[in-house]
Amino acid sequence: MKKKSLRLLGILLGVFIYPWASISAEEPTPMNGEMPENLYRAELLTYPGAWAFQLPRAGIILVTDQELRDLEDPDKQINLSLGHEPRMESLRQVCERAKAQGCRTLILAFDHFFSQYRPGMGDQMRSLYPDKPEYIQRIAGISKFAQQYGLGLELSLLNPLEIGPGYQQETGESGKWMHYRKGLRDPETGAFSVQLWRQTRWAANKGAVNIESDSVRVFAFRERRIGGTSYRAVNPDEIIEISDSAQVELLGDKREGMERIRVYGKGHPELGELNRVLVVQVYRVPEMDYMSDKAFPYLERLIDRYADAGVKLNALYSDEAHIQQDWSYFGHHDHGQFAMRYVSDGFAKKFAGKYGDQYKDFTKYLVYFCYGQEDFAHDLSATEPVMHVFGDSPEEIRRTALFRSWYYRLLQDEVVDLFVKAKKHAEKRMGFQLEARAHATWAESPTIDMWRVGEENLPKNQYEYTSNFVWSNTVHQAAAACSDYFRWGDFLTGNGNDHAEGGWLDRDYYAQALACSTGLLNEVPYSYAAHWGMPNETSQRRTNINNAFGTAGSPLFGIVEDMSHREVEVLMLYPFDLVAVEERFGSWMTQYGYADMMTQNKVVECGQVKDGALILGGRRYTTLAATFEPFPKPELLELMKTLAEQGGKVIWSGPPPVIDNNGNHILQAWQDMFGVDYSPSRNEGLMAPGRQVAFEGILEKVPSQVILTDLLVDHIYPVSPREGSLVVAGAQNHILGVHRVLPSNGSFTFLGFRPRDDQSASLGYETRTWFEVFNSLGSYPGTGKSGEVNDNTEYLSRTTDYLFCRFPNGTVAVAKHFFNYEEGWPGGFARNPEEDKKILESRPLPSDEIHLKDQVVNGHKVTFDGTSAMAFRRDSAGNLIAFAGSNCSEITLDGKTTRFADEKIPQLAWAPVPENRQIPNGARVQLMVYGTGKIRIPAESLSSPMDAFVEGPTPGSRGETVPSVLEDGKIVIDITPSIQGRWIYLVNRKVN
């Protein structure tokens, strides 16, 4: 079973709610993009950019073709349930309710996941796809009907999973996947026999598809063991095709979606000592050849067909926008390896054009993707992670990993670029920008990575690389062109992740940090960190953390934080190439929540150094850290050098680079920067399991750290310091840490190991190496307004019981930490309330109470008592102008107490309406209260008397007047049951 985005939870109530909402079809206005924004302008305020995520939308999720056909009758009721309880509704009923609630968008999408909640639907095959004429005709009819209610559609149109059958029929092309398996060959007779699991059906978000066998190819080669390593050298020129001798036998062992076959043959004795074979089963898959010259013209024509048919698009439903693959985790492995790669004709042509004619027949190069397929071996190598390389030198070994990196990068880039181009064409036809809010993957790392835990709960063990780590799902995602969240941000609106799914809590706050990072460069810079698969009460605790981070939590915090992410001074490079060096591993080295992340490609593309900081997405980073970057771009090293020369801090952990991303020598330049000498060996570093890294010099306060395993991620990289460089870390006789200070007071720090950091204490104890390193180097400085006390939000977050965050608009947010409550419940999407109640009774949640007494944070001194999370903002004159909190009645900031209620209010928030949302005679302050009684909103910053109005039936509309008076510099409003939980707007009073 796969996972499902939290964005669909809103449909359980029949309407999408914040933070996943649509843009209306009103008044396109200019934005930074090529097309104007489709701005929703209400009576009292507007909803630009991320604010549009607060708008509601209606939704219909289909799981069969018949349901789409049934919608032709707008009065026919069908089961639209996304949970255990049926929900019978007609298209007309959905549209009528949507209009009454002010929706402007109707989601209409197919999602195979929810067939489990609709009895009898099962694994039905689809025949209606968005690129088929009948589908377009039916959608056009639904769109015409929905337009009567002012609704545009959000269609799953530009999603690789949706486009294939029509493409095949019109172009004669399709996607091709290649399934590879290594075996023995008798060099005297040429006899070989290899078994593998031939794929016959895959199922993904958009339903099940049949996989056709296109051909079987066989290549003979020989390999040479490289002593002291798990590598086998294979000369590409000696890989010879012998497909003419191959036969295929069905072995009769059939499983769901696969069957066992044997590929065998003999002959070609002239090939002599070629004693190995690579068998490649080629599949024809109903999807596009994304690199074909026909691909974009086809998408362009497809979009035109929808536009010409009168379909009104408001958005593109883009959940899990990856190329074809199967949901099943670890269910497509031959001898433990995910042994399939997308290699269409167009891909092979594109790869050869970019990297050399030798790759025209890419198929034989799949031998360099083989990993651990030594089940025929007569020695212990049968269970080793054996890989094949171009040659036996350190450089040739790394060039092989770079070759794999090129594969993943080209596949990812070409798919994203194709759909970005198609999206722009769709926007041109519609006349405005189309929101595409979702994330690209169907599985995440570490969430779906595998550890051997016996009968223990898996999620609570998914925080560290330990000796029982088995395999990551990252290679599955990378092969499906969706492992680079940042690259997909060029297509997706806002972006986001579902890392905390299936019951995993993300107690190191890694997913929140990732959301802050993927939002950074987005056209709408506001990502979500969704979660599901846990009791509702537990879910709320994680929402508290989202509220503090600003990762699409409650709209009450969104208005205070201006729908933006928290700020931090540290940027860490996202280890995109870890999977290329060894495919067993994930897309993480350490799950660290107190830094932003970015791929080196995006840093080089979008970053610039100015005044001692890296400027990226409008944020300033004074520390840049590499976590595993074996193939850096020369521009990255130049950027690092400039940063340090201007006073910034550069940290490099993991392997020193031998070659750059183009295969050119780069080690010398790297050594000169970091003031060390490094001698690369054939292995990437040394194994040092159980060794202890001790720190000295500027890092002397960092606690010693144990190297946990012999895995690649835990290898060490000894260096020799040059003159002027200081030793700061070591293990036994190895120097593993060197620090070099520049005249600018900037610095280069090399850490030749994996710094661990696990605030969740998942191993029974906390590790905090990354934090202590950053802290020792001064990466988390205080404001200087609190004397010698460090009031930095990240520093406080690792040294107190609370998570503190700060925001570009000056907001400070706080939540009680939620990292020591271990997972231990079923991870299903639809919950069983009685079962969850029993779980929580046996494992009571910790308190979420917040008690701050003269707490210094970000230049303020705060006293506050409440629960869940709290955020405040002051203006330049020191007035409290924005606040969100729960079970509270007052807050004291810098010695000034603001009492906003006589009794503790369950939840409330207020904030000024930002200028980009204001309209003439519209709202100037926005507030919401859960609870009843008098509340007092500070009015010192308001320039004129205000009238209060509750929101009407649609977003931003003027409802009935709410009585209010001005007393002692505060606007006093009596919250009655009829207006609690509704937006209230303060509007400048009209002067007669």
- With a pLDDT cut of 90, the percent of the chain lying above it is 90
Q: Which long-range contacts (CB under 8 A, 24 or more apart) does 221-224 make?
A: 221/274, 221/276, 221/277, 221/278, 221/367, 222/273, 222/274, 222/275, 222/276, 223/276, 223/388, 224/392
> Does position 31 have pLDDT exceeding 50, yes or no?
no
**Please, are residues 589 and 575 in contact by the beta-carbon 8 Å criterion?**
yes
Residue 769 near residue 516, CB atoms below 8 Å:
no
Calpha distance 767→261 (Å, rounded) = 48
- Find the angle CA(190)-CA(195)-CA(200) to the nearest 5 degrees: 130
Joined tokens for residue 90? 């007609």
Tokens representing 624 are 């840049």
The tens digit of pLDDT for each residue in 475-519 reads: 999 999 999 999 999 999 999 999 999 999 999 999 999 999 999
Tell me 299's DSSP state: H
Asked, for residue 182, whether it belongs to a domain, the answer is yes
> Distance between CA 881 and CA 279 in Å, rounded?
68
CA–CA distance, 36 with 42 (Å, rounded to integer): 18
Q: How far is CA 189 from the centre of its chain?
A: 51
- Regarding whether 285 and 201 lie in a shared domain, the answer is yes
Whether residue 535 is contained in a domain is answered as no
Whole-number pLDDT of residue 942: 84
Question: What are residue 814's DSSP bridge partners?
Answer: 804, 870
Percentage of the chain with pLDDT > 70? 96
Q: According to the model, what pLDDT value does residue 395 have?
A: 97
Answer with the one of 410, 434, 457 that is the final residue of a domain.
410
In a shared domain, residues 841 and 733: no
Same domain for 346 and 276: yes
The domain containing residue 757 runs over which residues? Answer: 595-776
Q: What is the pLDDT of residues 50-66, one digit of tens each?
A: 999 999 999 999 999 99
Based on the domain organization, do 936 and 973 belong to the same domain?
yes
Quick check: 194 pLDDT over 50?
Answer: yes
Phi, psi of 85 (to 5 degrees): -95, 130
Query: Does residue 129 have a pLDDT over 50?
Result: yes
pTM for this predicted structure: 0.96
Q: For residue 244, how many C-alpha atoms fall within 13 Å in the half-sphere facing its CB?
A: 4
Query: Rounded mean pLDDT of the chain?
Result: 95
**Same structural domain for residues 816 and 756?**
no
pLDDT at 281 over 50: yes
Asked if residue 821 lies in contact with residue 460, where contact means CB atoms within 8 angstroms, the answer is: no
The two tokens of residue 923 are 């709202």
Picking from 318, 301, 527, 553, the residue whose alpha carbon sits closest to that of residue 435 is 318
Flag whether pLDDT at 25 surpasses 80.
no
Confidence of residue 7 (pLDDT cuts 50, 70, 90): very low
Range 885-892 average pLDDT: 98
Answer yes or no: is 365 within a domain: yes
Asked, for residue 140, whether it belongs to a domain, the answer is no
Q: Which residues contact 683 (CB under 8 A, 6 or more apart)?
A: 228, 229, 715
Residues 6+ apart with CB under 8 A from 4: 111, 113, 114, 498, 501, 532, 829
Rounded Cα distance between 669 and 2, Å, is 45
* Residue 694: strand pairing partners: 730
Both 892 and 974 in one domain: the answer is yes
Class of residue 139 by CB neighbours under 10 A (exposed 0-12, middle 13-18, buried 19+): buried
Helix axes 667-674, 634-645, angle to 10 degrees: 10
- Do residues 284 and 198 share a domain? yes
58: in domain = no
Reading the block at residue 459, the tokens are 């999620």
Greatest Cα-to-Cα distance within the chain, rounded to the nearest angstrom = 104
Judged by average pLDDT, the poorest of 79-93, 157-171, 427-441, 843-857 is: 79-93
Number of domains in the chain: 3
808 prior amide bond cis, ω within 30: no
- The residue out of 410, 427, 455 marking a domain boundary is 410
**Residue type at 845?**
L
pLDDT band per the 50, 70, 90 thresholds, residue 113: confident
- CA–CA distances in Å: residue 492 to residues 155, 519, 617, 678: 14, 10, 16, 41
The domain boundary residue, chosen from 389, 410, 431: 410
Task: Tell me the per-residue pLDDT of 726-752, one tens digit each, with 9 for 90 and over.
Answer: 999 999 999 999 999 999 999 999 999
Q: How many CB atoms lie within 10 A of CB 399?
A: 17
Local confidence band at 138 (pLDDT 50, 70, 90 cut-offs): very high
CA 901, CA 929: separation in Å to the nearest integer?
Answer: 11
Q: Is residue 532 part of a domain?
A: no
Do residues 857 and 796 touch, judged by C-beta distance below 8 A?
Answer: yes
How is residue 112 written in tokens?
């195979």
**Cβ atoms of 258 and 198 closer than 8 Å:** yes
CATH of the domain at 956: 2.60.40
- Whether residue 764 is contained in a domain is answered as yes
Q: Say whether both 756 and 847 belong to one domain.
A: no
Q: Enter the tokens of residue 814.
A: 């706080």
pLDDT over 90 at 16, yes or no: no
760 and 814 in one domain? no
- Average pLDDT on 387-395 reads 97
For residue 84, what pLDDT is reported?
Answer: 81
Q: What is the pLDDT of residue 944?
A: 80
Mean pLDDT, rounded, for 335-363: 97
Specify the residue for token string 């801090």.
Answer: 649
Could you tell me the CATH number of the domain that includes residue 638? 3.40.50.880
**Alpha carbons 168 and 182: distance in angstroms, whole number:** 31
Residue pLDDT, tens place only, 512-567: 999 999 999 999 999 999 999 999 999 999 999 999 999 999 999 999 999 999 99
**234 neighbors 390 (Cβ within 8 angstroms):** yes
Distance of CA 546 to the CA centre of its chain: 15
H helix intervals, 646-719: 667-674
Q: 282 and 175, same structural domain?
A: yes
Residues 767 and 885 in one domain: no
* Token pair listed for 266: 């003999």
Residue 406: pLDDT above 90? yes
Which of these ranges, 327-336, 549-558, 859-868, has the smallest mean pLDDT? 327-336
pLDDT attached to residue 123: 67
Count of alpha carbons within 13 angstroms of residue 384, beta-carbon side: 15
Beta bridge partner(s), residue 790: none
Q: How far apart are CA 15 and CA 896, in angstroms?
A: 42
Check whether 15 has a pLDDT greater than 50. Answer: no
396 and 334, same domain (yes or no): yes
Q: Is 384 contained in some domain?
A: yes
Q: Where residue 332 falls among pLDDT bands split at 50, 70, 90? A: confident
pLDDT tens digits for range 668-704: 999 999 999 999 999 999 999 999 999 999 999 999 9
Residue 988 burial (CB < 10 Å; 0-12/13-18/19+)? middle
Contact indicator for 887, 866 with CB cutoff of 8 Å:
yes
DSSP letter string over 504-553?
---TT-HHHHHHHHHTTTSSS---EEEE-SS-HHHHHHHHHHHHHHTSS-
Q: How many CA atoms lie within 13 A of 184 on its CB side?
A: 9
Name the DSSP class of 185: B
Q: What does each C-alpha distance from 963 to 79, 745, 948, 971, 982 come to in angstroms? A: 44, 59, 7, 10, 15
The backbone torsions φ and ψ at residue 162, rounded to the nearest 5 degrees and listed phi first, read -90, -15
Mean pLDDT of 852-864: 98
Q: How far apart are CA 28 and CA 37, in angstroms?
A: 5
User: What's the rounded Cα separation, in Å, for the pair 500 and 523?
Assistant: 24
